[in-house]
Amino acid sequence: MTNIDNRDIIETDIKKTGITKTDISQDPETPSKKISENLSATYDSVFRTMVNDCSKLLFPLLNEVFGEAYTGDEEICFLPDEHFLNQQDGKESKRITDSSFMVIGAEKKHYHLECESHTDSSILVRIFEYDAQIALDQAREESPGKLVVSFPHSAVLYLRSNRNTPDTMRITIETPGGEVSYTIPAIKISNYTNDEIFQKQLYFLIPFLIFNYEKHFSEMNENEEKLAILKEEYQEIQRMLEALTQDGTLSAFYKVTIMEMSVRVMNKLLENYDNIREGVKNIMVGPILDYEAKRIWNEGRDKGLDEGRKEGMKEGKNEGIKEGETLMGRLVSILMDQGKQDEVKSAVEDSAVRQALYKKYNLL
């Protein structure tokens, strides 16, 4: 893949946000903070969702980045993402890390991963702030007068990179007892082809692969032949994910989460490229809807069972149990037949909405 140069995308970023060129930094490598925050929120959210909902997919990534040899049988324990830093004026400043967790296997190791949509000169300062706070949160007093703080193994995932993006970064701390240094590896999406992602089992990165084509969006959006190539690549990704699910390598939940998060990234990154967005997104959406329908129906059925048992016990009627078991299932069937999946979700999660829908469809 060709490395993406931030200068090639600044114009696109400006159009997306409505910010004028005078708001942009004179340094062409660094879009303004306002643009970065606006565009990165979605990608940060996707990153956190992948970390929390598909945590097992972190193991191959850790093996790739830090040279670990995790098998996937280890335990992941998530640490607080919110940290409060004391400022000189006495006020506290809240910092939110993208992910902070401990892997418990043959030994315990702390990790801290950040997701960046642009090369940002302030990243090392923020990494150090986060790492120091994580270390303080986990500090231990081994003996009177001896405090031990363990810094996490940190890395940065760059969704975009350019010629100035380093492969590794280093933080050096000068102390009265001497210098202490540690490195922060950079994970660059542009370094991985689709085939390499599957060969190395780096399924965690799939939602962000669309960034590798960003430099060619304008051409693809106007050229059906170029767009067809991109669509074919995503059809192959979909087929390979399905094959992994069929052979038990990847759970159905993980597969759908990967596809849902891919669509979410596409919706944001491709919002000015309708032809690409609709063409590629539709490849991923079909299997998501099929799976979602089954999942929602099962949730609704289970909710109905719970309701029936509660109502039966409350009223002392055996028939109340049976009625409750079928009521939710009937409502879900009606809504699914009408394609109203959003209402099914609301019915499952909200008792008041559920009761209103029962009445609306004359089920009570």
pLDDT in tens, 115-139: 998 887 789 999 999 999 989 888 8
Residue 254 · residue 242 · CB < 8 Å: no
Query: For the segment 261-297, what is each residue's pLDDT rounded down to a tens digit?
Result: 999 999 999 999 999 998 998 888 765 555 554 555 5
Mean pLDDT of all residues belonging to the chain: 78
Domain shared by 187 and 310, yes or no: no
210 occurs within a structural domain: no
Tell me, yes or no, whether 169 and 299 share the same domain: no
* pLDDT attached to residue 72: 93
pLDDT range class, residue 307, cuts 50, 70, 90: low
Q: What is the pTM of this model?
A: 0.69
pLDDT at 318 over 80: no
pLDDT of residue 326: 60
In a domain, 129, yes or no: yes
46, 179: one domain: yes
Instruction: Check pLDDT > 70 for residue 89.
Output: no
Determine, yes or no, domain membership for 112. Answer: yes
* Residue among 156, 77, 165, 160 nearest 113 (CA): 156
The reply to whether 232 falls in a domain is no
d(CA 252, CA 161): 32
Q: How far apart are CA 325 and CA 351, in angstroms?
A: 15
pLDDT band at 358 (very low <50, low <70, confident <90, very high): confident
Residue 50 reports pLDDT greater than 50: yes
Return the closest-CA partner of residue 57 out of 178, 170, 208. Answer: 208
Task: Tell me the longest C-alpha to C-alpha distance in the chain.
Answer: 77
Q: What is the average pLDDT across 71-82?
A: 84
Across 119-133, 161-175, 192-206, 345-359, least confident range? 345-359
Q: What percent of the chain has pLDDT over 70?
A: 68
The whole-number pLDDT of residue 282 equals: 83
pLDDT at 196 over 90: yes
Model pLDDT for residues 93-103, shown as the tens digit of each residue: 555 556 899 99
224 domain-assigned = no
Q: Side chain identity at 330, as an amino acid letter? A: R
Whether 70 is covered by a domain: the verdict is: yes
Kindly state the tokens that stand for 355: 């009761």
- Helix (H), strand (E) at residue 155: strand 153-158
Question: Which of 167, 193, 219 is the endpoint of a domain?
Answer: 193
Cα angle 211, 212, 213 (rounded to 5 degrees) comes to 90
Tally Cβ neighbours within 10 Å of residue 159. Answer: 28
The answer to whether residue 52 is domain-embedded is yes
Domain interval for residue 333: 289-360
* Listed residues 193, 209, 230: the one ending a domain: 193
Shared domain for 302 and 169, answered yes or no, is no
If asked whether residues 307 and 177 sit together in one domain, one would say no
The residue among 193, 218, 250 that closes a domain is: 193
Give the N- to C-terminal CA distance of the chain in Å, as an integer.
Answer: 59
More confident residue, 106 or 318: 106
Q: Where are the alpha helices (DSSP H) in the chain?
A: 10-17, 33-53, 58-66, 123-137, 194-199, 217-222, 224-246, 252-269, 274-315, 318-337, 341-349, 351-360
What domain count does the chain have? 2
Q: Do 184 and 300 share a structural domain?
A: no
Note whether 160 and 305 are same-domain residues.
no
What pLDDT was estimated at residue 291?
52
Average pLDDT over every residue of 139-149? 91
Whether 206 and 225 have beta carbons less than 8 Å apart is answered as no
CA distance 327 to 317: 16
- Same domain assignment for residues 186 and 301: no
Residues 293, 188: one domain?
no
pLDDT for position 346:
73
Q: By the 8 A CB rule, do 165 and 186 touch?
A: yes
Could you tell me if 180 and 296 lie in one domain?
no
**Domain assignment present for 162:** yes
Q: What is the pLDDT of residue 3?
A: 40
Residues 50 and 176 in one domain: yes
Phi–psi pair at 327, nearest 5 degrees: -60, -50
